[in-house]
Structure 1
Amino acid sequence: MRGRRLRERALRRVGERWAGERDEAGERGQKRGGQPLHAGTFDRRRCAGQGRTAPRPLAATTGARASAAVEAAGRSDDRPVRARPMTVRLAADAGRWQGARVARTKKSVAPSLLVGDIGGTNTRLALYDASGDRPLSEAVFRSREHASFEEIALPFLVRSDAPHPAIAVLGVAGPIKDHVAAITNLPWRLAERELSRRLKIARVLLANDLVVGARGCLHIPRASIAPLTERRPRPKESNLAVIAAGTGLGEARLLWDGARHLTLPTEGGHADFAPRSAVEVELWQFLAERHPDHVSYERVLSGDGLGALFDFFAARAARVPRAIERRLAEGDRNAAISELGLARAFRPAARAVDLFVEIYGAEAGNLALRELALGGVFVLGNIARNLVTARRELFMKSFLKKGRLTPLLEGVPVAVVTDPLVGVRGALALARELAARGDDDDAPRRRAPSRRS
């Protein structure tokens, strides 16, 4: 107690001499006009590497000013003799503590990178450090449970301890026109300028979800590729194609320009569904009654498409057992159909899964021909990881059944990408390019925030 009183008395001497020197941040409670500081109050933060508590009044008197303050206190006639060494130590500690605190602040305010993959089922968001090498925060949200993307993004940014991002790259499941995207299977509208303003992010880029997925295919580890052919896709010096059935059907192309791949979006999933057999003709008629305006491949190759295939075959069955009906009514109906079909526990479900995979393989072969993707075809999405890998023979048989062009497709490698974050990887690659390239006059921009808001 006696030592503490001596320290407080010494600090009071220093504070009275330097009451006019207000702390720049205005956070220490000093007052102008020679009024005394709140001497004797201590900040409980530890000095960096010192193991001692730093005095709050000395936070502003660092470096040479701290030394001058100590010397001024030393010339006071009524100063207790034993207080000066303690004052010197505390002033020096305060200088080291203040310098360390500023260094940590400068490091922490380096803006992060926000990347995301926005789909009809899930929205995946991640924050990376400024270099894009280290993930700082990640989360997955159910898209349909939220009224807008901002309802997801704002709480995600606020709750994260990461620095506020300066760049955001978001893959969206839908066409983008004039920097505005409408999500095909969600009532969401995303505009780059509005997101930049509302999220307080200087640079926002919207990209097609299959574009970021395709870019991610160039950066995934070897272990995340499950080949369906003897050879793996050859990214370098060849065109590539990417297809993904999920909430909808997405397709994209990676065209080699002689130096690098150009990633281009398509809306090929909305092309006309072309039946290949008598059963598929009946399926088309069944779907045309549900969708009289247009029957596209997405009406078949999607989560809801699998459900429609089951309904098509179940309508041919005598009846659906009550146990099956109860299982379909519990939880995710399409997932239950997938499980029943793979286990061959109910014939309509098994036939639905088989035909789904066959049509999937046929459309993947169509895409390989359209893009002349001799380097390979990547198949993305949770459906591919579960159904295509389990029925790979059916998939490849339909992929190759192209008449006179079958020999050409026999040399095209095909692989399923098992990494669920492939879209996030692609968005991160684009974000790093934006960060390296700097300003883009055509991009919507705003003043970057100095700190997280």
Structure 2
Amino acid sequence: MSYPANTLSLVADIGGTNTRCALADGPRVLQDTVRRYSNADFGGLETVLRQYLSDAGDVDPIAACVAVAGPVHNGVATLTNLNWAIDRDTLARATQAETVAILNDLQAQGHALADLDSSALRPVIERTDDTINFHAARLVVGVGTGFNATPVFDTAMGRFVPPSEAGHANLPIRTEQELRLCHYVSTAHGFPAVEDVVSGRGLERVYSFLGQEAGDPRDVRAQDIMAACAAGNDPRAREAVALFIRVLGTVCGNLSLIQLPFGGVYLVGGVARAMAPYLAEFGFADAFRDKGRFAGFMANFSVHVVEDDYAALSGCASHIQTLVSA
């Protein structure tokens, strides 16, 4: 299918393993244009984007916005789990777009929140008061290969989603077991960061920690731990998921007290979606609210899991449309 020149935007979500590209008409992603590429087949993002534009019929986009799994500083993005980097000049050259932008992948998720359909939101904790000010801050928490969190502000000047690297903060400790887990992570990695436990790789470390505690150390992949938890054939898998969820609840509660997201907390990412069926069973809400004299105050914050796998693409489309329209 051919598209008129300078009418659509190119949006892309670049992870450590795959890159997903699509075309967007204003803030709306055209679902039938979404394509996935294995990063291992390409030498850099520039070649991926050129391949996509060719596959899509030599599209000439008016704008391009990419979300990357890594920090963005001064317009330069470096992927955390892939030896790629990209800047605005390279993005403009690869796409021939007049307007370009680069976002951290969590920033893209934050830009998508206001446009998500309610059917894409899985409730975890409901607010006691369902009246929400449009300008109330929201908090998007990414749990996938890594961990990150950032506030989302809708202001009179537009939506603002600041960059963040929250996964590198210290791991919180509430119990003796969590203290031992902290020491275990420190021994292996030198610093007990949130991401060392609350992530896909972190779940594997939790499982290994429990094995060491039991005198039966074994390494198991995250997807196999989740499969065993669902099947109910490995008690350690269920214990690992339960410990993971309690730590996740504590971290989200801490971040909520810091950012005051009266507009809600939104869990995004593949691991968050995998954990969703177990959040209630394994005490996410109790850990979230366990804040002593502020326990009652925590009822001000709702929590949802975002089940839209294309939210980062939608966020890119929403963000770049505001730049084109400015």
Provide the TM-score with structure 2 as the length reference: 0.91
* Selected match of 2:87 from 170, 184, 191: 191
2:291 aligned with 1:402, yes or no?
A: yes
2:213 aligned with 1:310, yes or no?
A: no
- Tell me by how many angstroms 1:194 deviates: 1.7
2:309 aligned with 1:420, yes or no?
A: yes
The code of the aligned residue for 1:198 comes to: A
Change (3 A) 1:175 1:409: same
Identity %: 28
- 1:174-213 equivalences under 5 Å are 174-213=70-109
- Tell me by how many angstroms 1:390 deviates: 2.2
Distance 1:363 1:286 in 2: 18
Distance 1:357 1:131 in 2: 34
Match of 2:320 in 1: 431
Gaps of 5+ in 1: 1-104, 438-453
Match of 2:300 in 1: 411
Number of residue equivalences: 323
- Tell me by how many angstroms 1:412 deviates: 1.1
421-430 or 223-232, larger mean C-alpha shift:
223-232
* Selected match of 2:275 from 376, 387, 408: 387
2:165 aligned with 1:276, yes or no?
A: no
Whether contact under 8 Å (1:229, 1:415) holds in the other structure is yes
- Tell me by how many angstroms 1:428 deviates: 0.6
Residue 224 of structure 2: SS of its match in structure 1?
helix
Q: For each residue in 1:287-321, what CA deviation from the matched residue of structure 2 results, as whole angstroms up to 9, or x when unmatched?
A: 112111x2210111111111111111122335479
Match of 1:221 in 2: 117
2:142 aligned with 1:241, yes or no?
A: no
- Tell me by how many angstroms 1:147 deviates: 3.7
Match of 2:151 in 1: 253
- 1:54-73 equivalences under 5 Å are none
Change (3 A) 1:142 1:235: farther
> Higher Cα Rg: structure 1 or 2?
1
Residue 416 of structure 1: SS of its match in structure 2?
strand
Whether contact under 8 Å (2:272, 2:305) holds in the other structure is yes
- Tell me by how many angstroms 1:136 deviates: 5.8
The code of the aligned residue for 2:224 comes to: A
Residue 264 of structure 1: SS of its match in structure 2?
coil
* Coordinate RMSD, CA, aligned: 2.4
- Tell me by how many angstroms 1:158 deviates: 0.9
- Tell me by how many angstroms 1:235 deviates: 6.6
Whether contact under 8 Å (1:251, 1:265) holds in the other structure is no
Q: For each residue in 1:53-75, what CA deviation from the matched residue of structure 2 results, as whole angstroms up to 9, or x when unmatched?
A: xxxxxxxxxxxxxxxxxxxxxxx
Whether contact under 8 Å (2:112, 2:314) holds in the other structure is yes
The code of the aligned residue for 1:245 comes to: V
Whether contact under 8 Å (1:241, 1:377) holds in the other structure is yes
Larger RCO, structure (CA 8 Å, separation 6 or more): 2
- 1:335-374 equivalences under 5 Å are 335-374=223-262
Change (3 A) 1:273 1:114: same
Distance 1:337 1:197 in 2: 43
Whether contact under 8 Å (2:246, 2:287) holds in the other structure is yes
Gaps of 5+ in 2: none
The code of the aligned residue for 1:264 comes to: P
Residue 228 of structure 1: SS of its match in structure 2?
strand
Whether contact under 8 Å (1:248, 1:298) holds in the other structure is yes
Q: For each residue in 1:305-349, what CA deviation from the matched residue of structure 2 results, as whole angstroms up to 9, or x when unmatched?
A: 11111111122335479xxx8xx5xxxx21011111233321221
Change (3 A) 1:209 1:337: same
Change (3 A) 1:398 1:146: farther
Whether contact under 8 Å (1:136, 1:162) holds in the other structure is no
Provide the TM-score with structure 1 as the length reference: 0.66
The code of the aligned residue for 1:281 comes to: L
Match of 1:17 in 2: none
Residue 215 of structure 1: SS of its match in structure 2?
helix
The code of the aligned residue for 1:296 comes to: A
Whether contact under 8 Å (1:245, 1:380) holds in the other structure is yes
Change (3 A) 1:382 1:150: same
Q: For each residue in 1:397-419, what CA deviation from the matched residue of structure 2 results, as whole angstroms up to 9, or x when unmatched?
A: 11111111111111211111111
Whether contact under 8 Å (2:72, 2:163) holds in the other structure is no
Distance 1:199 1:388 in 2: 37
* Selected match of 2:162 from 264, 277, 289: 264
The code of the aligned residue for 1:176 comes to: V
The code of the aligned residue for 1:242 comes to: V
